[in-house]
Amino acid sequence: MIDADFLRRWLATAAAVVDREADRLTELDSPIGDADHGSNMRRGFTAAHAAVELEPPQTPGGVLILVGSQLISTVGGAAGPLYGTLLRRAGKALGDGTPATPEEFRDALRTGVEAVGKLGGAVPGDKTMLDALVPAVEALSFALDAGGGLADGLAAARIAADEGAAATVPLQARKGRASYLGARSIGHQDPGATSAALLVAALADTAAE
């Protein structure tokens, strides 16, 4: 079951991994962006973690909504509103206070990822965070439908997100700053797909604890 405590533990893990990997995310954002993705993510997740620990929401949806709101208000770059919308929409989809089943959590994540597509106008293959997020949700869904539990599903999602991020290297960016480079965006891994894979990995680690 996904309760508020599970998502608080996810957030602590995610904030730590974002902090640890911030330099790498910024390096990825330097050839095809403006070299701020790591600092953007670090600022957002540090603020979100602090806000949730200061006044811990009692419901899983409440945790996601608070994290999303913090990302929107503290991150200047494109990734802040996009991740913020994902988490706020997923939090709203979780609804009332009861802990979510793995299937309800999967459905909420899917709603959130769809909202990212609507907000940013991107589809998989455009070399964005969606190239990691969409396969992750599909892998989670496939594993749950096959009778797996949450930890199995999130382990599969982690692999799919990593593969999706790696698969952005040969793509030409069609959305965001990297798209301004046209064909020169080819040959570099997308920073947002990379951070998305880190956030999914943190979910898998939380479920495996």
d(CA 207, CA 10): 9
Residue 153 binding partner per list Mg ion, ligand ADP, none, with a CB distance cut-off of 5 to 8 Å that depends on partner kind: none
Q: What is the smallest separation between the CB atom of 29 and Mg ion, expressed in angstroms?
A: 5
Q: Which is nearest to 122 in space by CA: 111, 110, 107, 134? A: 134
**In sequence order, what are the residues at sequence separation of 6 or more whose Cβ sits closer than 8 angstroms to the Cβ of residue 103?**
144
Q: Which of ligand ADP, Mg ion, none does residue 59 bind (CB under 5 to 8 Å by kind)?
A: none
Question: Which of 68, 120, 124, 164 is close enough to bind ligand ADP by CB under 6 A?
Answer: 120
CB nearer to ligand ADP: pick between 8 and 37 = 37
Residue 111: CB minimum distance to ligand ADP, A: 16
Cα angle: 189, vertex 17, 52; to 5 degrees: 125
| Residue among 67, 93, 108, 129 that touches ligand ADP (CB under 6 A) | 129
Binding-residue pattern over the window 174 to 193 for ligand ADP, x denoting contact by CB under 6 A? -xxx------------xxxx
Closest by CA to 93, choosing from 82, 106, 105, 108, is 108
Who contacts 134 (Cβ-Cβ below 8 Å, separation ≥6)? 113, 124, 164
Output the six-digit token pair for 31: 């050839």
Say whether residue 133 binds ligand ADP (CB under 6 A): no
- Of the two residues 122 and 202, which places its CB atom closer to ligand ADP in the complex? 122
Instruction: Decide which of ligand ADP, Mg ion, none touches 190; Cβ closer than 5 to 8 Å per partner kind.
Output: ligand ADP
In the shown chain, the binding pattern of residues 12 to 51 toward Mg ion, with x for contact by CB under 5 A and - for none, equals: -----------------x---xx-xx--------------
Residue 130 binding ligand ADP, by CB under 6 A: yes
Query: If DSSP codes are grouped into helix, strand and coil, which group holds residue 175?
Result: coil
User: Is-contact 69 88, C-beta < 8 A?
Assistant: yes
